[in-house]
Chains A and B, each alone.
Chain A
Amino acid sequence: MTPDEPREDPGEEARFRRLLAERLPRHAAPAHLRAVIAALAAPPRRAFWWAPALSALATAMVLGLVALPLLPRTVEPDPLRTLISAVLSQHARSLMWGEARPEAVPAALPRVMEQTGIGLSWLFQGDDEIQLINAEPLVVEGRRALALTYKDTEGHTLTYTLLSWAGMTLPKQGRVKIDGYQPLLTQMEGWSIFVWKQKDLACFLISDLVSEEDLARFKQVFLKVRQGTEPPPQS
């Protein structure tokens, strides 16, 4: 020891050392710390070649699920609904530009039936409450159709459209029972529409009778049309 180094009483130093050694708390490392450090030391698990590919695939799937609702839909539209929309368009066209020629209808009917290929043994030609005012051939969604236009005493215009569609199926939901018949009654774009199938014909009756009271009248018109229409017997 150099002369300028501090000197201490050996007895005092010994007591002090013992005090520190015996009475100063020694903190033992918690067990989990050893485990954590051992894990630090462990070599990293060998990555398999497919691990990143799997991760990328999982990420892509998640992103796909998230983006799915935003993708353009290529779902096949409901053919019946498409057809109803087309029939409605024709009804609107008939309202705006159709001609009322009740006197010419009887003479025109055979020709129109021939043009459309829809020959009817019978059809409803009107009564005191509703009048057949036009008959014309149409093409609806690529199908030839026969459109008959009626007008009731209150000025409501109704279009009765028939087209050949043997494969048409009607959903059970939305059917109404009218004197033994079960047509589909639906409303679209502010119109009431009856849809039913009669032999191989798909039939649509459209009107602006939408209120509850008007619907009762509309059902009566349906009955008249339905009972007054008779396709030819199937060969």
Chain B
Amino acid sequence: MADPEFQRQALEHLHPLYNLAVYLTRNGPEAEDLVQETYLRAFRFAHRFQPGTNLRAWMFQILRNTFLTFYRHREREPAFLDEGDLDTERNTMFHDAPQKDGAALEAETDLGRAIARLPEEFRTILILAEVEGLALEEVAEIMGCPVGTVKSRIFRAKERLRGFLKDYGEEFKS
């Protein structure tokens, strides 16, 4: 098992990992299971992590691989959840952002639904790069693809997102 210092550092990334897990699984309990499994693996294989390298990227990589291995097949199950049903109103209880008016909450709901409609590789890249603020190099490391691919996927993800938001009658608003 991992040493206490490794465990402490790994736990610093709990919230971002859980956030991504929610967007991947679209289900709170599933997200918890996914994060637990991620940490279990990280602690078990802590000896493979090279100190001084990017622990955050390593943890995200484990989470995504675990999701692809164990959870992704459920995404194909239509009965799993209605498309894009993020139950964002309930989850805003845990939201870091300040309280907003009803219209803004509705826009968040549409935005959440739109994100959920993206393919996994677009969704993950968008969350990592635009929400968590990871550098493109980190995202590329996590996704196991070149930085240029990350950029093009971000671009296409945004394009799709714009289209989805129009479906909901939303526009990008500054």
Interface residues, chain A, with chain B CB atoms under 8 Å away? 1-2, 5-6, 8, 12-13, 15-30, 33-34, 36-38, 40-41, 43
Contacts and interface: CB of A to CB of B under 8 A. Distances in A.
Contact of A29 (B15, B104, B152): B15
Contacts of B19: 26-28
Interface in B114-168: 115, 126, 130-131, 133, 148, 151-152, 155-156, 158
B86 interface: yes
Contacts of B152: 5-6
A34 B151 CA distance: 33
For this complex, into which size category does the number of interface residues on chain B fall? 35 or more
B36 interface: yes
B86 A25 contact: yes
A222 to B, nearest CB: 81
B146 to A, nearest CB: 11
Contacts of A15: 172-174
Contacts of A24: 108, 111-112, 115, 131
B92 interface: yes
A23 B22 contact: no
Given A18-B174, A40-B43, 6 more contacts: A22-B97, A24-B108, A29-B18, A37-B11, A38-B11, A41-B1
B19 to A, nearest CB: 5
B81 interface: no
Contacts of A29: 14-15, 17-18, 32, 35
A202 B65 CA distance: 90
Contacts of B133: 21
